[in-house]
């Protein structure tokens, strides 16, 4: 039997935590190891409990979810981060992704979609609500085709980035050097007019270069 996915759930509303917990516990693969009422407590639990995934609300007292995600990443804690929010505004979503979140789903998501998002970020891939994916892809797109055609090798690299693979993992997968991977990524950024891995992925989705999860 595979070990269960250990989760920390952070939301300042008890009823919301209860509902999300009930959603997740319908799946025997999930185990809630901690519940936090604010960002500071969530950060402490991420340090002490070594969860696989931390689920964060965006707006919480003492430390909001976006800043909590940023600190988790700054401390290099080995957990995936999934934002579970009532806000679908572009600035919130972009700020969360830039802070290091692996996914962003809305509190209106169906239980099956929430569970799928947890599994997706646990596997190292990007998880976004379908509506958010479409909105962000339009927002991040340069508004036209790539400046130059993405090569087959660059497309392979872009799709591995979308799966959450590190440069080292991409190099091993494609049997090329880390420096070559960096060169491919630089070319991808230039051709897609992207300034980050997340932006490149979103533009790739919009252009049909990457299949949506």
Per-residue confidence (pLDDT) for residue 2, from 0 to 100: 73
- Token couple for 159: 């799709």
Q: What's the rounded Cα separation, in Å, for the pair 28 and 115?
A: 11
Contact between 80 and 53 under an 8 Å Cβ cutoff? The reply is: yes
Q: What is the pLDDT along the chain (213 residues), one digit of tens a residue?
A: 678 999 999 999 999 999 999 999 999 999 999 999 999 999 999 999 999 999 999 999 989 999 999 999 999 999 999 999 988 877 788 888 878 888 899 998 899 999 999 998 998 778 887 767 666 655 555 555 566 788 999 999 998 888 778 888 899 999 999 999 999 999 999 888 877 787 788 778 777 787 755
Q: Where does CATH 1.10.10.10 sit in the chain?
A: 141-206
CATH annotation of 5-128: 3.40.50.2300
Give residues with Cβ within 8 angstroms of 43, minimum separation 6.
63, 68, 71, 72
Q: What is the pLDDT of residue 208?
A: 77
**CA distances, 99 to each of 37, 41, 67, 70 (Å):** 20, 18, 7, 5
pLDDT score for 147: 64
Topology at the third CATH level for domain 141-206: Arc Repressor Mutant, subunit A (1.10.10)
pLDDT (0 to 100) of residue 136:
63
Q: Is the pTM of this model over 0.85?
A: no
Ranges in the chain annotated CATH 3.40.50.2300: 5-128
């Amino acid at each position: 039997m595979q070990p269960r996915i250990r989760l920390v759930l952070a939301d300042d509303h008890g009823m919301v935590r209860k509902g999300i917990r009930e959603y997740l516990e319908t799946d025997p693969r999930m185990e809630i190891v901690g519940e936090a009422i604010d960002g500071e407590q969530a950060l402490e639990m991420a340090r002490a409990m070594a969860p696989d995934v931390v689920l964060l609300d965006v707006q919480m007292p003492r430390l909001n979810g976006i800043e909590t995600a940023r600190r988790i990443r700054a401390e290099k804690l080995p957990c995936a981060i999934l934002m579970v929010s009532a806000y679908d505004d572009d600035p919130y979503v972009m700020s969360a992704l830039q802070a290091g979140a692996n996914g962003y789903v809305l509190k209106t998501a169906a239980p099956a979609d929430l569970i799928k998002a947890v599994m997706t970020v646990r596997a190292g891939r990007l998880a976004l609500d379908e509506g958010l994916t479409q909105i962000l892809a339009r927002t991040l797109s340069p508004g036209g085709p790539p400046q130059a055609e993405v090569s087959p090798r660059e497309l392979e690299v872009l799709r591995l980035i979308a799966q959450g693979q590190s440069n080292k993992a991409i190099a091993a997968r494609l049997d090329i050097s880390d420096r070559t991977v960096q060169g491919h990524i630089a070319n991808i950024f230039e051709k897609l007019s992207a300034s980050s891995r997340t932006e490149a992925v979103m533009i790739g989705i919009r252009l049909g270069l990457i299949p949506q999860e």
